Amino acid sequence: MRSIISWFASNHVAANLLMLFILIAGVTTALTVKLEVMPEATLDKILITVEYPGASPSEVEEGVIRKIEDQIAGLAGVKRIDSTATEGYGFVTLE
């Protein structure tokens, strides 16, 4: 690393050419980047989080998650439903 720095310090033309190359590459990249005020995004997943304080995972599954899954199962466009029940929380992921 030290030898590269000392080589550029003694070769001013090479250092200036490298700087010029980096500047041109940066300007070219900045001009070709596609910028959008409101970019379009596709949402492939939806995460539903339910808090059920003090409930065991089985209570969360039976009391909340199964009801959500039953209601969502009939919706058009739902390819996959994943769910997780933990202590006091339930998570349902839709694709």
Under the banding of pLDDT at 50, 70 and 90, the label for residue 72 is confident
Q: How many domains does the chain have?
A: 2
Q: Are residues 53 and 20 in the same domain?
A: no
In a domain, 38, yes or no: no
In a domain, 23, yes or no: yes
Q: Are residues 61 and 83 in the same domain?
A: yes
**Global model pTM greater than 0.85:** no
In a domain, 37, yes or no: no
Q: Are residues 63 and 24 in the same domain?
A: no
Give the strand pairing for 81-86 and 89-94. Answer: antiparallel
- pLDDT tens per residue across span 37-68: 887 888 789 999 999 999 999 999 998 899 99
Nearest C-alpha neighbor of 89 from the set 36, 37, 50, 63? 50
Dig out the tokens for 65 from the structure: 């998650």
Sequence-distant (≥ 6) Cβ neighbours of residue 17 within 8 angstroms: none
Q: Which domain holds residue 25?
A: 2-32
In a domain, 39, yes or no: no
Stated as kind and residue range, the H or E segment containing 3 is helix 2-10
Q: Are residues 28 and 51 in the same domain?
A: no
